[in-house]
Amino acid sequence: MTQSRARTVFLLAHTGRPAAIRSAELVVQGLLKSGLGVRVLESEASDLPLPDTVELVKEATPACLDGCELLIVLGGDGTLLRGAEFARASGVPMLGVNLGRVGFLAEAERDDLDQVVERVVSKEYEVEERMTIDVVVHRNGDIVHQDWALNEAAVQKTEPERMLEVVLEIDGRPVTGFGCDGIVCATPTGSTAYAFSAGGPVVWPEVEALLMVPISAHALFAKPLVTSPDSVLAVEVQPHTPHGVLWCDGRRTVELPAGARVEVRRGAVPVRLARLHHAVFTDRLVAKFALPVAGWRGAPH
């Protein structure tokens, strides 16, 4: 391991993509040329054309970001969510560069790499906190699993031919029950991810709220619900139904036996995101989904 510099940036990349390898090379060269230190995981270094001055760490733990002022992540949504795990555990802000399709968590695109380096070197970025959720699974009164998510916690069926029978609860009171393919409990950040695909509302990031969105529910009342950020959401898997599965951010999973209860509440630890632009979320939404806005005239002056 080389000696740390005064300022160090951690780089995380999807090294399975040629575009990520080339992008990582450009970012590393730019940062080193400007006098910043760069640190990467040793497991990824073999796939990247890195100079000897890059610092390598063996263990992929939160401690590997000690002393780093920023975490730069290059990749698609999966890589960005992987980076969010490091960012949450370490408290280091994450700056995402989208190399995938939509990339709502990303602050920059592949063509912006020069600007990314310039802004990082000059510290021209702001840091905002994104709300997370904490997830607890109960069975027979005992806690059997604990997790967290930046986007969503999804309770899903595992048998294609049979529905998952659930009862929904908010703040200790039952709301409704039905058979469905699943339930998504999401943050505002996650409203443009799985919850969006399930028909949930788009929630602006500055709005603090929790979402509960049914997936293919067989019921007259199966609308997306938006609650206070201080609410506690619960999904009870009925005892007579097939077992289900819990996915957190589509990355971490645990089986839910019949009779399991999943509780979701506001997370105790946020994820910190570095922002380069002051663009309003509306513009980001239009750009990411290529929404048709031709003919807009704006407010009269």
Q: Which residues are catalytic?
A: 77
Q: Which two tokens stand for residue 267?
A: 């997370």
CB 97 within 8 A of CB 118: no
- CA angle (280, 283, 284) in 5-degree steps: 90
Q: Where are the beta strands (DSSP E) in 158-270?
A: 164-170, 173-180, 182-186, 210-215, 225-227, 233-237, 244-248, 252-256, 261-266
The single-letter DSSP state of residue 64 is G
Distance CA 155, CA 254 (A): 10
- CA angle (281, 202, 112) in 5-degree steps: 35
List alpha helices for 94-135, DSSP H.
113-121
Residues 6+ positions from 106 with CB-CB distance below 8 Å: 80, 96, 97, 98
The single-letter DSSP state of residue 238 is P
183 phi/psi in degrees, rounded to 5: -135, 135
CB 179 within 8 A of CB 113: no
Neighbouring CB atoms inside 10 A of 232's CB total 16
